[in-house]
């Protein structure tokens, strides 16, 4: 549905050249929810804006639904854009128009009759659950409600593709979830292809089937979400995966932690389970085999695309030898082990 | 008793009242017609100034610079000089260089660049994301101007209208120079040249009320249309 081939984008700031996109290749098939993740300044917005040519690529081709957008005249591009919906981080609703008139705007632009607009808008507001707010102005809506209006507006001209530029970044976690649920619903209902960019792996994890990771304008990794979580090939990918599992050491432990072992201290270890890790009841195995007592301090395990992964903080109580052997065994089972220090 | 006093005054000063009412009519006529003409030309000019900016929708640096220079020249000439300098043009347009109609020409000419800058400022307040969203939904440039930029800038444009009207009321005081009449003219002729303090005070009071009314209506309208 979306084919991005060899796309480059260079910005010029005075004499300085900023390579925002560097040879990006992406292929997004019909009906899927594709995530692009990257940190701030990675080029995500530039990339998604290249898909409807809000930003013209310096080089490369962008095809949407078989049409090469770069080859279109301005007039044809205007028409092609009506089949590509877009929503934004800051909603971009017109403050001068009511909810109803905001949703109806794309139809108004296309010259649809008043009666047809009314029918379509009413059904869309029903779909996004804001039928009773139709005469409100955006200023009187919550962030989540504004994004729902924006989604309804983006759907008004029956697009085949929906572009989401950080659509949930200005929302709290619960509202984010409800917006993601809505996106999933319209994806199923209309077989809508969704390209979504974000800096939160949690968003990708929650609704995307595929993901691309972008860093410094380059696409560093892409594939099905499960595969990326299972076998992250790059450090950047690992970082994003880890960011979904925020696991910090409690304050009082941190105070008692020293970097060198003493007579009566025990190691505090961090275990990282990835898709490569041996899928077995490994903790109890280690405890039995090496005669260790393992106290789990905190853990954050997750399950994405058939892959179990996560982080765990644990204290190992046992002899120095046993601890060493246990760690070797865990490493052999493809669990990443890091001794964070020793707790007295 | 006080009613008697007012009545008494009224009967004795019928001519003066006539004069003030006529002058008020002339001021309102000059200001409103000049403002109307000013808006007809000033709004498109302001829109053009905004659109041709470097990051604008119809970015055109050359045009933007030339328009900017023209507007700045218009803004930098003191009105009293413009009034005199435009006399040949005024005579060409209205057939005479004196009278209320003749005063409208320089007032309108002065209003155009003034309004253009204010409208440009109002458009600048419209978040660029809105234009982007409109582009993304397939809006043509004309639609973006008419359905996004102008409606979103409407509170600012009404504010601009209020400021323009008040400024024109001030400028219109100089219209007496070309026989345009108006309240300012009465104030100068009676108050300044004939030392009639009472008449001058009255023209000032009427002007203050007029400006107050314009501002109040303007503020009310802004509040009505502003949903931000
Ligand atoms: N119009 C522009 N002119 C010059 N440089 C730009 C322009 N737009 C983006 N850039 C640069 O291109 C790079 C990528 O920007 P982009 O907005 O795509 O990042 P992003 O991944 O969306 O970041 P964020 O998460 O902060 O939104 C940045 O270095 C940015 O400074
Ligand atoms: Mg961005």
Q: How far is ligand 1, taken at its centre, from the CA of residue A197, in Å?
A: 13
Ligand nearest to the CA of A43: 1
For residue A82, the chain B residues in CB contact (below 8 A) are 137-138
Query: Tokens standing for A233?
Result: 């090939």
Q: What three-state secondary structure class fits A200? A: coil
The residues, any chain, with a CB within 8 Å of residue A80's CB and separated by 6 or more, are A64, A67, A69, A72, B138
Q: What three-state secondary structure class fits B132? A: helix
Cα dihedral A154/A155/A156/A157 (nearest 10)? 90
ipTM for the complex shown: 0.84
Inter-residue contact A196 to A183 (CB < 8 Å): yes
Q: Tell me the residue length of chain B.
A: 228
% residues pLDDT > 70 (chain A): 99
B11: closest CA of chain A, how far (Å) = 52
pLDDT at A153 over 90: yes
Task: Pick the atom of ligand 1 nearest to A39's CA.
Answer: 25
Residue carrying the six token digits 């779909």: A127
Name all residues whose Cβ lies below 6 A of ligand 1: A 11, 13, 18, 20, 38, 40-46, 199
Residue in A215, A237, A239 with CA at minimum distance from that of residue A228: A237
Band (pLDDT 50/70/90 cuts) for residue A339 is confident
DSSP A259: S
Biggest distance spanned by C-alpha atoms of chain B: 72
Biggest distance spanned by C-alpha atoms of chain A: 83
CA distances from A156 to A34, A182, B109 (A): 21, 15, 45
pLDDT at A177 over 60: yes
B152: closest CA of chain A, how far (Å) = 6
Residue carrying the six token digits 């930029």: B149
CATH code for the domain defined by B2-225: 1.10.3720.10
Task: Assess B151–A contact: CB distance below 8 Å, yes or no.
Answer: yes
Query: Which stretches of chain B are DSSP H helices?
Result: 2-12, 14-51, 61-76, 79-85, 87-94, 100-124, 128-136, 141-143, 150-172, 183-186, 197-225
CA distances from B84 to B28, B31, B72 (A): 22, 18, 19
Please tell me the distance from the alpha carbon of residue A238 to that of residue A272, in angstroms, as a whole number: 11
Pick the residue whose CA is nearest to atom 25 on ligand 1: A40
B contact residues 108-127, partner A, Cβ 8 Å cutoff: 127
Inter-residue contact A294 to A314 (CB < 8 Å): yes
Sheet containing A266-273: order of strands: A257-258, A336-343, A266-273, A307-317, A293-304
Q: Tell me whether residues B137 and A54 touch, CB distance under 8 A.
A: no
For residue A106, the chain B residues in CB contact (below 8 A) are 137-138
Model pLDDT, residue B203 = 87
Distance of CA B117 to the CA centre of its chain: 12
Inter-residue contact B143 to B134 (CB < 8 Å): yes
Domain ranges of chain B: 2-225
Inter-residue contact A318 to A293 (CB < 8 Å): yes
Cross-strand partners of A63 = A3, A68
Q: What is the pLDDT of residues A23-82, one digit of tens each?
A: 999 999 999 999 999 888 889 999 999 999 999 999 999 999 988 998 899 889 999 999
pLDDT at A246 over 70: no
Q: How far is ligand 1, taken at its centre, from the CA of residue B135, in Å?
A: 19
Q: How far is ligand 2, taken at its centre, from the CA of residue A101, in Å?
A: 27
Model pLDDT, residue A7 = 92
Q: What is the pLDDT of residues A313-328, one digit of tens each?
A: 888 888 888 888 889 9
Mean pLDDT in residue range A219-227: 88
Band (pLDDT 50/70/90 cuts) for residue A271 is confident
Nearest chain B residue to A76 by CA distance is: B138
The residues, any chain, with a CB within 8 Å of residue A229's CB and separated by 6 or more, are A205, A241, A274, A275, A304, A305, A307, A309
Q: How far is ligand 2, taken at its centre, from the CA of residue A45, in Å?
A: 4
CA distances from A319 to A94, A323, A329, A330, B222 (A): 68, 6, 15, 16, 78
Question: Which of A69, A81, A94 to probe the B interface (max B CBs under 10 A)?
Answer: A94
Please tell me the distance from the alpha carbon of residue B51 to that of residue B228, in angstroms, as a whole number: 23
Q: Tell me whether residues A54 and B136 touch, CB distance under 8 A.
A: yes
Inter-residue contact A159 to A85 (CB < 8 Å): yes
Model pLDDT, residue B1 = 56
Nearest chain B residue to A83 by CA distance is: B137
For residue B133, the chain A residues in CB contact (below 8 A) are 86, 88, 92
Interface residues from chain A to B (CB-CB < 8 Å): 52, 54, 75, 78-82, 84-86, 88, 90, 92, 94-97, 105-106, 108-110, 137-139, 153-154, 156-157, 163
Q: What is the pLDDT of residues A110-144, one digit of tens each?
A: 999 999 999 999 999 999 999 999 999 999 999 99
A175: closest CA of chain B, how far (Å) = 22
B162: closest CA of chain A, how far (Å) = 20
Mean pLDDT in residue range A248-267: 81
pLDDT in single tens digits along all 228 residues of chain B? 577 877 777 777 788 888 889 999 999 999 999 999 999 999 999 999 999 998 888 889 899 999 999 999 989 999 989 988 998 999 999 888 888 888 999 999 999 999 999 999 999 999 999 999 999 999 999 999 999 999 999 999 999 999 999 999 999 888 777 788 888 888 888 877 888 788 888 888 999 999 999 999 999 999 999 998
Q: Positive or negative, the Cα torsion across B136, B141, B143, B147?
A: positive
């Amino acid at each position: 549905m979306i084919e991005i081939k060899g796309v480059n984008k260079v910005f010029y700031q005075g004499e300085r050249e900023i390579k925002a996109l560097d040879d990006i290749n992406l292929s997004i098939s019909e009906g899927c929810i594709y995530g692009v993740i990257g940190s701030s300044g990675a080029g995500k917005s530039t990339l998604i804006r290249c898909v409807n040519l809000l930003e013209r690529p310096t080089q490369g081709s962008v095809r949407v639904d078989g049409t090469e957008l770069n080859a279109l005249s301005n007039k044809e591009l205007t028409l092609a854009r009506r089949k590509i919906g877009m929503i934004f981080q800051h909603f971009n609703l017109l403050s001068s128009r009511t909810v109803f008139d905001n949703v109806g705007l794309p139809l108004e632009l296309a010259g649809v009759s008043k009666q047809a607009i009314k029918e379509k808008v009413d059904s869309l507001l029903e779909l996004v659950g804001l039928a009773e707010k139709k005469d409100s102005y955006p200023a009187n809506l919550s962030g989540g409600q504004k994004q729902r209006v924006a989604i309804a507006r983006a759907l008004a001209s029956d697009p085949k593709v929906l572009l989401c530029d950080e659509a949930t970044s200005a929302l709290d976690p619960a509202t984010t979830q409800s917006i993601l649920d809505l996106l999933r619903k319209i994806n199923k209902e209309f077989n809508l292809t969704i390209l979504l960019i974000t800096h939160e792996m949690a968003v990708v994890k929650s609704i995307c089937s595929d993901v691309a990771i972008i860093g410094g304008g380059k696409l560093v990794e892409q594939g099905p979400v499960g595969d990326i979580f299972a076998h992250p090939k790059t450090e950047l990918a690992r970082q994003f995966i880890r960011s979904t599992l925020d696991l910090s050491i409690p304050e009082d432990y941190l105070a008692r932690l020293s970097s060198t072992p003493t007579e009566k201290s025990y190691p505090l270890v961090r275990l990282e389970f990835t898709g490569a890790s041996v899928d077995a009841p490994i903790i109890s195995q280690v405890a039995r085999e090496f005669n260790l007592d393992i106290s789990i301090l905190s853990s954050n395990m997750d399950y994405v695309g058939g892959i179990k992964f996560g982080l765990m903080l644990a204290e190992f109580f046992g002899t120095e030898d046993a601890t060493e052997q246990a760690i070797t065994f865990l490493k052999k089972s493809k669990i990443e082990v890091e001794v964070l220090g020793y707790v007295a | 008793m006080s009613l008697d006093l007012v009545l008494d005054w009224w009967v004795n000063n019928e001519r003066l009242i006539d004069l003030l009412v006529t002058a008020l009519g002339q001021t309102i006529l000059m200001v409103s017609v000049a403002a109307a003409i000013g808006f007809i030309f000033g709004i498109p000019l302001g829109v053009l100034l905004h659109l041709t900016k470097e990051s604008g929708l119809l970015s055109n640096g050359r045009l933007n610079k030339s328009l900017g220079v023209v507007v700045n020249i218009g803004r930098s000439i003191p009105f009293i000089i413009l009034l005199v300098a435009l006399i040949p043009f005024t005579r060409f347009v209205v057939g005479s260089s004196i009278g209320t109609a003749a005063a409208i020409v320089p007032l309108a000419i002065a209003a155009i660049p003034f309004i253009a800058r204010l409208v440009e400022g109002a458009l600048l307040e419209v978040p660029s994301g809105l234009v982007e969203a409109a582009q993304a939904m397939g809006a043509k440039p004309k639609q973006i101007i008419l359905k996004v930029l102008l409606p979103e800038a409407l509170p600012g444009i009404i504010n601009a209208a209020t400021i323009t009207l008040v400024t024109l009321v001030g400028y219109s005081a100089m219209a007496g120079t070309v026989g345009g009449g108006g309240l300012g003219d009465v104030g100068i002729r009676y108050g300044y040249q004939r030392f009639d303090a009472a008449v001058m005070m009255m023209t000032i009071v009427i002007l203050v009320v007029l400006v107050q009314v314009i501002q109040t209506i303007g503020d009310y309208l802004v509040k009505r249309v502003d949903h931000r």
